[in-house]
Structure 1
Amino acid sequence: MPGPELRRRLSTSDAVVIGLGAMVGAGVFTAFAPAARAAGAALLLGLAVAAVVAYCNAVASAQLAAVYPTSGGTYAYGRERLGDWWGFTAGWGFVVGKSASCAAMALTFATYAVPGPPWAQRVVAVAAVLGVAALNLRGVTRTVAMTRVLVCTSLAALAAVVVGVLAGGRADPANLTDWAGASPLGVLQAAGLLFFAFAGYARVATLGEEVRDPRRTIPRAIPIALLITVAVYLVVGVVALLVLGPQRLASAAAPLTAAVEAGGVGGLAPVVRVGAALASLGALLALVAGIGRTAMAMARHRDLPAPLAAVHPTRHVPHRAEVAVALLVALAVSLVDLRGAIGFSSFGVLVYYAIANAAAFTLPREQRRWPRWLSVLGLVGCAALVVTLPWQSVLAGAAVFAVGLLGRAVVRRGRG
């Protein structure tokens, strides 16, 4: 007898909210400083590059989700279109890479919420992870409701910052044309940093079994969420550059706090802190939900321990997978640093989306909703952004993928 299944409860607006929650995270409050260090005012060009690559990845995920409306995202699509090993590689990269993203979001939340010693921030970060997992265990509708609140609050904080800085009268349009020292490599590095900041659009696809009318809803929700997020990043990035200039932005530890202070509205600094903390929490909430569904899908095919495939009989959530993910992220929060988590996550996520583009490329004409050349552009873009990552991140990511693939080979051989 089949066990309980996930239920289709999410509308298009719910799916958009999940996507926004995953993308409008702490990155919009922190990513512009390292992007400015890499490319100066040309970070806006880096944002455009990241947006193009993200759009290619998003539409690849969207059209695959319409054809295969099941949990697991590219893990499921890779299995169907490219073979079991490619699917496993995507799923492994997602679970491990996005667990690192969760650790980064939890640490960022704690940094803004608790201006105390590092050990206290780690304790708060672990508590945030466990609290988010507990909320997710209550059902996907509770997850969406809380994500909606967090997204609206974060966007309100960003709107207050933008309006306040522009009204302060200290914005200098000349700062947007200061591209001194910018290089193609620097632009790509900025693109890689900004890509990490809003690469959460596939979270909708990982919830494919819980979306109503998925063949219509998912292809609409993913591009809408991405375009809204890119617009938010563009406006915030332009405002930060206008008031700070590329040099001051590059040296800012908290870019938006520096922007409100330079804009003569330093009273908005607490708004920035609250907005960043809530945005981090919203991203963490959406990420944990997506990883849990991917882990459940992998467990169904015995690519992860079979007990993780269980679905709660009344709340219809993958409760064992959610608990396992929470424990994994809590461990990562206790051991890793924020910068290392971001680089490692970027490697895993770029591999994941490269496989998504390759899978979308194989779709027949009658199942395609976007032209095939977008899949090629997305695959090339992912490869280009991998090149910009620190070598330590590439080495660590390659090692973790090797461990996963070797482990799968050993387990399969043991099964005969």
Structure 2
Amino acid sequence: LVWGFAGWEAVASLAGDYRDPRRDVPRATAIAVAVVGVLYLGLSTTSVLVLGPAAGRSEAPLSDLMAIALGEQARVVTAVVAVLLTVGAMNAYFAGGSRLGAALARDGALPRWLAVGGGSGQVPRRSIALIRGLSTLSVAVSVALDLGLAPLMLLATGCFTLVYVLGTGAALRLLPRRSVGWWTALVAFASVVALLLANGAHALWALGLAALSLAYQHAARPGVPSAAP
């Protein structure tokens, strides 16, 4: 059910393509939080009330809900809808991820050659190609090792959750202390830290990627020349 709300923040990476980012990003974020929050809470509540303890053991709780409500044939419809929604989410992530990669390269957090095409109205083809290549490689490795769906979901969940940990941690540092926003960020930070810990050893993948990113930034940082005597 974590995937019921994961990914709403990807819209921020496309801010450079908005007509008025200062107005549109907060508006889009507020709408996304409200809609996704209602859907997530509704789905979670319904799953627990209808399926009970079986919700935690089910591989597809939404499919089980649809089967109970409409019959077993509803599982096929649910699967088709899930595939279509997944394709839509992948498109959003490819667009947002490519923009984010180009922006990070522009700021020196990734190799500079990835920054090509990162301007407003441009297409970051190199960043898209890198994401496509890494995605293809991950699929090939998953098939070769026969990982199955559950480990892949947990690995991705760890990455999602770490993004939320870092985001809420940044909010705690940037927002005025003891303001309403700060307290909200504190509750969110504690929640996502608990979620990251609940992900177990699979969270090490996300932490490892973060460590590699920090190591690259440290290595790529130009040395500070010593002061002349």
Q: TM-score, with normalisation over the residues of structure 1?
A: 0.47
d(CA) in 1 for partners of 2:87, 2:77: 15
Q: Is 1:269 matched with 2:75?
A: yes
Q: CA-to-partner distance for each residue in 1:90-116, whole Å, 9 max, x for gaps?
A: xxxxxxxxxxxxxxxxxxxxxxxxxxx
Matches within 5 A, 1:217-228: 217-228=24-35
Structure 1 residues without counterparts, runs of 5 or longer? 1-30, 32-193
Offset of residue 350 of structure 1: 2.8
Offset of residue 351 of structure 1: 2.9
Query: Does the CA contact (< 8 Å) of 2:172 and 2:182 recur in 1?
Result: yes
The residue type equivalent to 1:377 in the other structure is: V
**Equivalent of 2:9 in 194, 202, 226:** 202
Matches within 5 A, 1:334-413: 334-336=140-142, 337=147, 338-363=149-174, 371-390=181-200, 392-412=201-221
Q: CA-to-partner distance for each residue in 1:7-63, whole Å, 9 max, x for gaps?
A: xxxxxxxxxxxxxxxxxxxxxxxx3xxxxxxxxxxxxxxxxxxxxxxxxxxxxxxxx
d(CA) in 2 for partners of 1:271, 1:298: 40
d(CA) in 2 for partners of 1:381, 1:232: 19
d(CA) in 1 for partners of 2:74, 2:40: 19
Query: Does the CA contact (< 8 Å) of 2:98 and 2:127 recur in 1?
Result: yes
The residue type equivalent to 2:91 in the other structure is: L
Matches within 5 A, 1:250-329: 250-311=56-117, 316-329=122-135
Distance verdict in 2 for CA 1:203–1:322, change over 3 Å: same
Distance verdict in 2 for CA 1:260–1:356, change over 3 Å: closer
Distance verdict in 2 for CA 1:376–1:278, change over 3 Å: same
Query: Does the CA contact (< 8 Å) of 2:159 and 2:203 recur in 1?
Result: no
Offset of residue 307 of structure 1: 1.6
Offset of residue 414 of structure 1: 8.0
d(CA) in 2 for partners of 1:235, 1:265: 21
The residue type equivalent to 1:218 in the other structure is: V
d(CA) in 2 for partners of 1:415, 1:284: 41
Aligned partner of residue 371 in structure 1, secondary structure: helix
Q: CA-to-partner distance for each residue in 1:235-283, whole Å, 9 max, x for gaps?
A: 334444454x324434433333333333353332321121111111111
**1:235 equivalent in structure 2:** 42
d(CA) in 2 for partners of 1:339, 1:415: 46
| Structure showing greater relative contact order (alpha-carbon pairs closer than 8 Å, 6 or more residues apart) | 1
d(CA) in 1 for partners of 2:42, 2:33: 14
Offset of residue 359 of structure 1: 2.8
Q: CA-to-partner distance for each residue in 1:170-195, whole Å, 9 max, x for gaps?
A: xxxxxxxxxxxxxxxxxxxxxxxx2x
The residue type equivalent to 2:216 in the other structure is: G
d(CA) in 1 for partners of 2:70, 2:169: 49
Q: Is 1:214 matched with 2:21?
A: yes
Distance verdict in 2 for CA 1:351–1:234, change over 3 Å: closer
The alignment of Structure 1 onto Structure 2 pairs a total of residues equal to 218
Distance verdict in 2 for CA 1:335–1:259, change over 3 Å: same
Q: CA-to-partner distance for each residue in 1:211-244, whole Å, 9 max, x for gaps?
A: 222222211211211221222233334444454x
The residue type equivalent to 2:135 in the other structure is: V
The residue type equivalent to 2:90 in the other structure is: L
Distance verdict in 2 for CA 1:230–1:415, change over 3 Å: same
Q: TM-score, with normalisation over the residues of structure 2?
A: 0.80
Task: Tell me the percent identity.
Answer: 27
Aligned partner of residue 52 in structure 2, secondary structure: helix
Offset of residue 320 of structure 1: 1.4
Offset of residue 291 of structure 1: 1.0
d(CA) in 1 for partners of 2:221, 2:52: 53
Query: Does the CA contact (< 8 Å) of 2:10 and 2:96 recur in 1?
Result: yes
Q: Which moved more, 1:293-302 or 1:406-415?
A: 406-415
**1:148 equivalent in structure 2:** none
